[in-house]
Amino acid sequence: MAEQQQAGHKTVLSGPPTGVDARALDEAVRFTSDLIRIDTTNRGGGDGTERLAAEYVAEQLADAGIEPRILESAPGRANVVARIPGTDPAADALLVHGHLDVVPAEAADWSVPPFSGEIRDGVIWGRGAIDMKNTDAMVLATVRSWVRTGQRPARDIVLAFTADEEDSAAYGAGYLVKQHADLFEGCTEAISESGAYTFHAGEGLRIYPVAAGERGTAWMKLTAHGRAGHGSKVNDENAVSRLAAAVARIGEYRWPVRITDTVRAALTELAAVHGLPADLDDVDALLDRIGPAAAFVRPTVRNSANPTMLDAGYKVNVIPGVAGAFVDGRIVPGGQEEFTSTMDRLTGPHVAWEYYHHEVPLTAPVDAPAYAAMREALEHFDPGAHVVPFCMSGGTDAKQFSRLGITGYGFSPLKLPPGFDYQALFHGVDERVPVDALHFGVRVLDRFMRGAGTAQAPAAAGASGARDGEVGA
Ligand SMILES: [Zn+2]
């Protein structure tokens, strides 16, 4: 890796080149800060605007000679799409997408104004610093650097900066997929948020979880019907009792372990890292032994269904004829059929259930060349990194792009110092990102997106600490 000296957020590179130039590192920082200052709060239900951020992104692309298209789904709800042609016309295209909207921030709770984009002591503060204006900025800085330095990616790269990810995606990725599918022609794989950050798992162990799947969303409405009547009378068709029994059965149900390919790979790698046998016959026991990293595997080894809301009755001495409840269900890849039949059984004959919101689970192969290239890029810039796949317990825009047959990975590289609680800052107070983390991210993104770590590409000759140009297994 090249030596670097820092003065403020200016970085001077010495030593062998690493792909991007020093200006790209500075731009990643400046763009992050600038984008944070453009308030793109998404309050849901159509209340949000990304237009100014989209214009900012489009300007940076156009300035580098990359032709952007601004696609507005509704007034103020703007997306940006651009295509960078690759050198290999036979290669499938890679989609790189990032959302421009952010969740609300309550200024009174923060140490700095949440839309200040302030850079202090080597850290950029503000809403969107990790979710995910930082990634938008790193991607912009990377592709602009290619133009300046005369480099091109092997694959076509399609860039998409989207609106409305933090709500339904109806004005963003959902709209693009429905109305502008042609812009994504040839894309087979995608990268976006929520993966490839440093997870410190104790004893100097640095794990980089790369998302290779998402659980599905199954929000359900339960309705129990019965015989309405006086609260003092015998009633063996009480809707409240029927609902309560069903809710209790769902809440107490212990879902069986269902290991997907992604989770199997994760457990096998984590067991190896800790020098343990990968005993997949007793996954819960294994999870107990693999330390802090179990936190990102545990929610995804089985389906889940948690009762969250109850709605029944209006007077203490009146038995209502109907009682309702809501349940938050999540489904592992391949687990849909089991989920449906289990819910039928647990709700029983007197309680009906339906989806209130339903999104499919996703899975992405971890034996694919793209995954190997992500691993290689991370290991290249952090020798000693352990790259481990994981399944996201929630969902992202990848669900929308999957409708076009695009396989999505969570790959938004950041090298974070010990004690930096990335998970807590997601949608959290005092969201922030270290400048150094962005520098690392730009280098990794450049290497991966350009296809520089593949066998055909020349190695970064003489780079100390760097591996040769081969793809990691
Ligand atoms: Zn996000």
The tens digit of pLDDT for each residue in 25-81 reads 999 999 999 999 999 999 998 999 999 999 999 999 999 999 999 999 999 999 999
Q: Residue 103 has which token pair? A: 């969740």
CB contact at 8 A, 44 and 159: no
Angle at alpha carbon of residue 146, lines to 466 and 67, rounded to 5°: 150
pLDDT in tens, 405-418: 999 999 999 999 99
Where among 359, 383, 405 does a domain terminate?
359
Ligand 1 centroid from CA 271, angstroms: 29
Q: 463 in a domain, yes or no?
A: no
Ligand 1 centroid from CA 381, angstroms: 24
In this predicted structure, what is the pLDDT of residue 15?
A: 39
CA distances from 309 to 322, 348, 431 (A): 15, 19, 30
Q: Taking every pair of C-alpha atoms in the chain, what is the biggest distance, in angstroms? A: 87
Shared domain for 17 and 157, answered yes or no, is: yes
Select, from the ranges 196-205, 262-271, 345-354, the one with the highest average predicted confidence (pLDDT).
345-354
Domain holding 56: CATH number? 3.40.630.10
Ligand 1 centroid from CA 272, angstroms: 31
Where among 359, 390, 411 does a domain terminate?
359
Q: Residue 362 has which token pair? A: 């996703």
The span from the CA of 113 to the CA of 376, in Å, is 38
User: Mean pLDDT across the stretch 347-364?
Assistant: 94
In this predicted structure, what is the pLDDT of residue 466?
A: 31
Ligand 1 centroid from CA 99, angstroms: 7
pLDDT in tens, 305-315: 999 999 999 99
CA distances from 408 to 199, 226, 362, 397 (A): 21, 45, 8, 9
- 370: three-class secondary structure by DSSP: helix
Specify which residues 72 forms β-bridges with: 78
Domain holding 287: CATH number? 3.30.70.360
Where among 308, 325, 359 does a domain terminate?
359
Ligand 1 centroid from CA 166, angstroms: 7
Shared domain for 233 and 372, answered yes or no, is: no
Q: Give the DSSP per-residue string, 184-217.
A: GTTEEEEEESS-SB-EE-STT-EEEEEEEEE-EE
The span from the CA of 395 to the CA of 41, in Å, is 19
Shared domain for 227 and 324, answered yes or no, is: yes
Ligand 1 centroid from CA 233, angstroms: 53
In this predicted structure, what is the pLDDT of residue 321?
A: 97
Predicted confidence band of residue 19 (pLDDT cuts 50, 70, 90): confident
177-214: buried (b, 16+ CB within 10 Å) or exposed (e) per residue?
Answer: beeeeebbeebbbbbbbbbbbbbbbeeebbbbbbbbbb
Cα dihedral 115, 117, 119, 125 sign = positive
Specify which residues 363 forms β-bridges with: 213
Percent of the chain whose pLDDT exceeds 70: 92
Percent of the chain whose pLDDT exceeds 90: 83
In this predicted structure, what is the pLDDT of residue 226?
A: 97
Fill in the amino acid letter for 288.
D
Predicted confidence band of residue 12 (pLDDT cuts 50, 70, 90): very low
- 346: three-class secondary structure by DSSP: helix
Q: 201 in a domain, yes or no?
A: yes
Report the mean per-residue pLDDT for the chain. Answer: 91
In this predicted structure, what is the pLDDT of residue 394?
A: 77
In this predicted structure, what is the pLDDT of residue 43?
A: 94
Instruction: Answer with the residue of higher pLDDT: 209 or 274.
Output: 209
Ligand 1 centroid from CA 146, angstroms: 26
Q: Residue 155 has which token pair? A: 């694959």
Q: Is the pLDDT of residue 14 over 70?
A: no
- 430: three-class secondary structure by DSSP: coil
Ligand 1 centroid from CA 132, angstroms: 5
Fill in the amino acid letter for 456.
Q
Specify which residues 44 forms β-bridges with: 47
Ligand 1 centroid from CA 137, angstroms: 14
Angle at alpha carbon of residue 172, lines to 167 and 178, rounded to 5°: 120
The span from the CA of 22 to the CA of 15, in Å, is 12
Shared domain for 205 and 251, answered yes or no, is: no
Predicted confidence band of residue 87 (pLDDT cuts 50, 70, 90): very high
Q: 471 in a domain, yes or no?
A: no
Crossing angle of helices 22-37 and 51-63, rounded to 10° = 160
Q: Give the DSSP per-residue string, 131-149.
A: TTHHHHHHHHHHHHHHHHH
Q: Is the pLDDT of residue 182 over 60?
A: yes
Shared domain for 223 and 239, answered yes or no, is: yes
Shared domain for 370 and 328, answered yes or no, is: no
Shared domain for 125 and 178, answered yes or no, is: yes
User: Mean pLDDT across the stretch 152-168?
Assistant: 96
Ligand 1 centroid from CA 427, angstroms: 9
Specify which residues 393 forms β-bridges with: none
In this predicted structure, what is the pLDDT of residue 455?
A: 53
In this predicted structure, what is the pLDDT of residue 357?
A: 87
Ligand 1 centroid from CA 149, angstroms: 30
The span from the CA of 473 to the CA of 466, in Å, is 16
In this predicted structure, what is the pLDDT of residue 2?
A: 38
CB contact at 8 A, 65 and 153: no
Ligand 1 centroid from CA 27, angstroms: 21
Ligand 1 centroid from CA 429, angstroms: 15
Query: pTM of the predicted model, to two decimals?
Result: 0.86
Angle at alpha carbon of residue 207, lines to 203 and 212, rounded to 5°: 160
Contacts of 204 (CB under 8 A, 6+ apart): none
Ligand 1 centroid from CA 32, angstroms: 14
Ligand 1 centroid from CA 77, angstroms: 17
User: Mean pLDDT across the stretch 220-241?
Assistant: 96
Full domain range(s) for residue 267: 216-359
Ligand 1 centroid from CA 103, angstroms: 9
Residue 347: closest CA among 367, 329, 331: 329
Ligand 1 centroid from CA 192, angstroms: 9
Q: 96 in a domain, yes or no?
A: yes
Q: Is the pLDDT of residue 95 over 90?
A: yes
Shared domain for 342 and 315, answered yes or no, is: yes
Shared domain for 325 and 429, answered yes or no, is: no
Ligand 1 centroid from CA 165, angstroms: 7
Q: 470 in a domain, yes or no?
A: no
Q: 428 in a domain, yes or no?
A: yes
Total structural domains within the chain: 2
Q: 456 in a domain, yes or no?
A: no
Ligand 1 centroid from CA 291, angstroms: 26
Predicted confidence band of residue 119 (pLDDT cuts 50, 70, 90): very high
Ligand 1 centroid from CA 100, angstroms: 9
Shared domain for 170 and 46, answered yes or no, is: yes
Shared domain for 237 and 120, answered yes or no, is: no
Shared domain for 16 and 160, answered yes or no, is: yes
Residue 322 host element (H or E): strand 322-331
CA distances from 6 to 25, 145, 381 (A): 11, 20, 18
Ligand 1 centroid from CA 107, angstroms: 20
Ligand 1 centroid from CA 340, angstroms: 29
Q: 327 in a domain, yes or no?
A: yes
